[in-house]
Amino acid sequence: MKLFFSLIVVLAFSAQTHAHEYFFGFAELNYNQEEGVYEGTLTLSSHDFKHWLETRAMDLTEDVDDPTKPANLQQISREIFTGFQITANGNSLAFEIVAKEELNTGLTNYYFRSTKAEQSGTLDVKFDLMMDLFPQQQNKITYREELKSSTAVFLSNKTHSSISL
């Protein structure tokens, strides 16, 4: 009976360690012609991203005046955009998070936009967000313009790519 109990405990712990075998991040990007900025959405697993931020000693205290916006949104923005960088026409785009939406599916959408920038047909992208903590992290970006789109996939051994429309 002791052997049976030990086997159950071992199986329970091994199932827990393999319960979450993949990690992901999705970005969608477009160019707003009227405002001359790039805009996008970054979708991340809420739990994984929170854990990743905690490894950077970030306190995720909510802002009392607005419970949907963390008090440290600027710091979260800095952390995100060290692992998600885009160069257009030879210039690094500067992004900021403008809103956040936590979904009931366990995902969080971060809405972002760039400072003013000229539109480019080719973007150079580095997207290694969270890959330092989760080596199996897979990230993907889709760049859309009207009816055209281009997608690139990023893995721990391929963190840079160019996408063109």
Tokens of 159: 């963190």
- pTM for this one? 0.81
Which amino acid does the sequence have at 131?
M
Alpha-carbon distance 39 to 31, whole Å? 6
- Could you read off the pLDDT of 149-163 as tens digits, one per residue? 999 999 999 999 999
Q: In sequence order, what are the residues at sequence separation of 6 or more whose Cβ sits closer than 8 angstroms to the Cβ of residue 60?
A: 50, 53, 54, 70, 72
- Range in 18-22, 28-32, 122-126 with the lowest mean pLDDT: 18-22
| Per-residue pLDDT, 76 | 87
Per residue in 49-96, pLDDT tens? 989 988 887 765 555 445 455 556 778 888 999 999 999 999 999 999
